[in-house]
Amino acid sequence: MDVITLKDCRKALIAALWFMFLTFPLLVIKVNTTENLVIWRWHNLLYVGVAAGSASLLTSIFRGLHDRKREQQRHQEKVIHISLTERFFSNPVVSRPVLAAGALFFLIFPLLFSTYQVNIMTTALMYVVLGLGLNIVVGVAGLLNLGYVAFYAVGAYTYALLNMHFGVGFWVALPLGGIMAALFGILLGFPVLRLRGDYLAIVTLGFGEIILLVLKNWAEFSQGPGGISNISRPGFFGMEMSMATTLNYQYYLTIAMVLLTIFVINRLQNSRIGRALFALREDEIACQAMGIDKTTIKLTAFALGATWAGLAGVLFAAKNAYVNPDSFTFLESAMILCIVVLGGMGSIVGVIIGALILILLPEYLRAFSDYRMLAFGALLVIMMVFRPQGIVANIRRSYHKKDSAP
Amino acid sequence: MSTEPILSVRGLTMEFGGIRALDKLDLQIYPGQIAALIGPNGAGKTTFFNCLTGIYMPTAGELHLSPPEQPGRRLNGLKPNQVTEAGLARTFQNIRLFPGMTVLENVMIGRHCRTKAKIFGAILRNPGTRKEEKETVDISMALLAKVGLADVADEFARNLPYGAQRRLEIARALATEPLLLLLDEPAAGMNPQETQNLTSLIRNIRDEGLSILLIEHDMKLVMSLSDYIFVVDYGRKIAEGTSEEVRINPVVIKAYLGEEVEYA
């Protein structure tokens, strides 16, 4: 069996030609309007052709090797396939130092980097919370929610309005924001109880738009598109803090929030409720036949997911000291959904990695400013084609081994 | 055998638009009995199960579950999960496991309606919750051992061979602690060896005091296993009795094989 076959070469050639054709207008033709000149940059075409051809060839080789390995495995008797993540977590000698190093990195992050970096990281960590929250709804319970950002908005505006009208502080508003969002989650949950898949997605999308439009247009309530400013930042027993200290404080606050989220969601997933949510995703009818009340469990999923969005919303309002409806557009929902899908549906570690990649990458790609979003889009496409299960696939959980081991 | 039926169905009728899928069906199942519901394809057997388990809302009729030494319960209008809670567990004709969950988790789901940990219990993991969780695992493992799947407890359900998936469905149904187990074509697609194992498994379950109602096309299995057989055709009960009685019943033979035609 050859590594490269004639078929692979032909495929590479076609790919090269196709990409040359596609990028022709963009990369080859350059019109200089001031001098009425058309500049033909043919060398770009060559680069594109070579790049696309070799990329295709490399993929074929990689695929071939992969297939061969799998073929060999099939001949061996009873190969138990265990994913990389599972091996990582089942081996404490490897996983513990890595996790410890990760924890240390995040702990001393503000000491190592500038306030700008800290600010970006705080934002990314907030998306971790949002991603983990949406993961309950989409990843675990399998209910596609395209209006998740609405709950984020509810949380943020709960704090903003309470602070503006009654001077309520951050720590009081935090649980209130969560509860408020949970109530809105249940409110959305009722009309969509019978819906699944595409239909559910459309209704949730509409719900998100409704919240956004209300915030934009009901000026007496929300101050309209101008937003609410001068929201108090989170306090720490009334201490006076400098700008840099405040940023660091917010960073650690967000870290604490992420840890709390991971802790709670991890426990929930390995519980009676968590299993019921998983079962709901797998098969709704069988789920009911096992004595699970579909209504309760769906509303639980919506409320649980929304709670985290509400908490993150309060954090967001406090961090920026300003909210306006433009922060809660559909694009945000799509972004959070991308985090969950890219990271791996139903997987906590996956969602964390997904959030960090998706939020940090565009920031650090600013150097290639023109191609930033192009590279970002390409990454998403490649990821979904080659690894649709996400970066970290769902890990199978084992209950009885833990108990039997001393 | 006691004289009080554990399940009694009276005048069960189910209409889909103008089509009458079930027509005034009467049926009694007694405790400790293996009863079978047979009939040609499209006779309304699965519709009957769906009416019984709350997936369909029957047009008319009375469904009563009367467990021995407990007050009886009317099943009409209950939601599927309430029916399961009342003590009726079922398997599905086309297997409906939770494929992305492990074998053990599948059975643990069956314990859902017999356990009661709530969200805060799950988060705080207080002693009560931990005890309940341990019991869930223990009971589920015992059930897996009973159906012979204990060694693949951590495998994903979708990776199991067909026969094992069928047995897992039974284990999952048993985890809900039913009084009456409804099996919808449990032997469909099984090879003779697997059918043999299934037969002894069903017998074992009956010997532990459960009543069983099965729908099945495998006549050999039905005849050897059932204490009592109901035959339906076009939604109507056309015969009932022991296997010997049903086997020689001319109406049943007609329904299955058709009528002899006299050529002039």
Which ipTM value was assigned to this complex?
0.87
B19 forms beta bridges with: B16
A326 close contact with B: CB closer than 8 A: no
**Last-in-domain residue among A29, A54, A75:** A75
A321 plus A191 within the same structural domain: yes
B102 CA to chain A: closest CA distance, Å? 7
Q: Domains in chain A: how many in total?
A: 2
A132 CA to chain B: closest CA distance, Å? 16
Contacts of A125 (CB under 8 A, 6+ apart): A251, A254, A255, A257, A258, A355
Domains delineated in chain B: 1-87+178-264 (3.40.50.300), 97-176 (no CATH)
Under the banding of pLDDT at 50, 70 and 90, the label for residue A309 is very high
pLDDT of B229 reads 92
pLDDT tops 50 at residue A89: yes
B98 CA to chain A: closest CA distance, Å? 5
B199 close contact with A: CB closer than 8 A: no
- CATH code, domain carrying A376: 1.10.3470
A178 plus A311 within the same structural domain: yes
Say if residues A158 and A310 touch (Cβ distance below 8 Å): yes
Q: Which of B49, B52, B81, B158 to mutate to test the interface with A (most CBs of A within 10 A)?
A: B81
More confident residue, A209 or A44: A209
Could you tell me the CA-to-CA distances from A155 to A144, A169, A241, A314, B263 in Å, in that order?
21, 14, 25, 5, 82
- Determine, yes or no, domain membership for A188: yes
B233 forms beta bridges with: B236
> Rounded to 10 degrees, what is the CA torsion of B80, B83, B87, B92?
-30
SS3 B58: coil
How much of chain A exceeds pLDDT 70, in percent? Answer: 92
> For A92-130, what is each residue's pLDDT tens digit?
777 788 888 888 888 888 888 888 889 999 999 999 999
pLDDT of A277 reads 92
Of B81, B92, B132, the CB nearest to A293: B81
Distance CA A286, CA A292 (A): 9
Under the banding of pLDDT at 50, 70 and 90, the label for residue A403 is very low
A25 plus A154 within the same structural domain: no
- Determine, yes or no, domain membership for A105: no
State mean pLDDT over B30-50: 89
Cβ A276–B118 below 8 Å, yes or no? Answer: no
With CA atoms as reference, report the closest residue to B183 among B206, B162, B160: B206
**Last-in-domain residue among A75, A95, A124:** A75
pLDDT of A27 reads 81
State mean pLDDT over A123-146: 93
A279 plus A232 within the same structural domain: yes
Cβ A278–B176 below 8 Å, yes or no? Answer: no
Contacts of A97 (CB under 8 A, 6+ apart): none
A58 plus A126 within the same structural domain: no
B146 CA to chain A: closest CA distance, Å? 16
Of these ranges, A74-78, A238-242, B214-218, the one predicted with the greatest mean pLDDT is: B214-218
DSSP count for chain B of H helices, then E strands:
10, 10
Cβ A289–B84 below 8 Å, yes or no? Answer: yes
A70 plus A120 within the same structural domain: no
- Determine, yes or no, domain membership for A97: no
pLDDT of A297 reads 92
Computed over every residue of chain A, the mean pLDDT equals 86
- Determine, yes or no, domain membership for A210: yes
Say if residues B143 and B209 touch (Cβ distance below 8 Å): no
Residue with tokens 């090879």: B191
A278 close contact with B: CB closer than 8 A: yes
A178 plus A227 within the same structural domain: yes
- Determine, yes or no, domain membership for A91: no
Computed over every residue of chain B, the mean pLDDT equals 88
A195 plus A275 within the same structural domain: yes
φ/ψ bin of A391: left (φ > 0), alpha (ψ from -120 to 50), beta (otherwise): alpha
Domain span including residue A69: 6-75
A402, with CB counted inside 10 A (0-12, 13-18, 19+), is exposed
Contacts of A380 (CB under 8 A, 6+ apart): A338, A342
State mean pLDDT over B54-79: 86
A125 plus A244 within the same structural domain: yes
Cβ A403–B137 below 8 Å, yes or no? Answer: yes
Cβ A282–B85 below 8 Å, yes or no? Answer: no
- Determine, yes or no, domain membership for A242: yes
pLDDT of A182 reads 96
Cβ A279–B89 below 8 Å, yes or no? Answer: no
DSSP secondary-structure letter at A26?
I
Q: Which of A265, A277, A288, A290 to mutate to test the interface with B (most CBs of B within 10 A)?
A: A290
How much of chain B exceeds pLDDT 70, in percent? Answer: 97
- Determine, yes or no, domain membership for A95: no
pLDDT tops 80 at residue A323: yes
With CA atoms as reference, report the closest residue to B47 among B78, B70, B15, B91: B15
Could you tell me the CA-to-CA distances from A329 to A129, A146, A152, A326, A334 in Å, in that order?
18, 11, 11, 6, 9
State mean pLDDT over B7-23: 90
- Determine, yes or no, domain membership for A223: yes
Q: Is the dihedral of CA B85, B89, B94, B100 positive or negative?
A: positive
DSSP secondary-structure letter at B156?
B
pLDDT of A81 reads 53
pLDDT of A83 reads 61
Could you tell me the CA-to-CA distances from A3 to A61, A75, A362, A365 in Å, in that order?
6, 20, 36, 35
> For A391-400, what is each residue's pLDDT tens digit?
887 666 777 6
pLDDT tops 90 at residue A181: yes
SS3 B256: helix
A245 plus A379 within the same structural domain: yes
State mean pLDDT over B88-104: 91
A10 plus A118 within the same structural domain: no
A135 plus A28 within the same structural domain: no
Residue with tokens 């019109």: A31
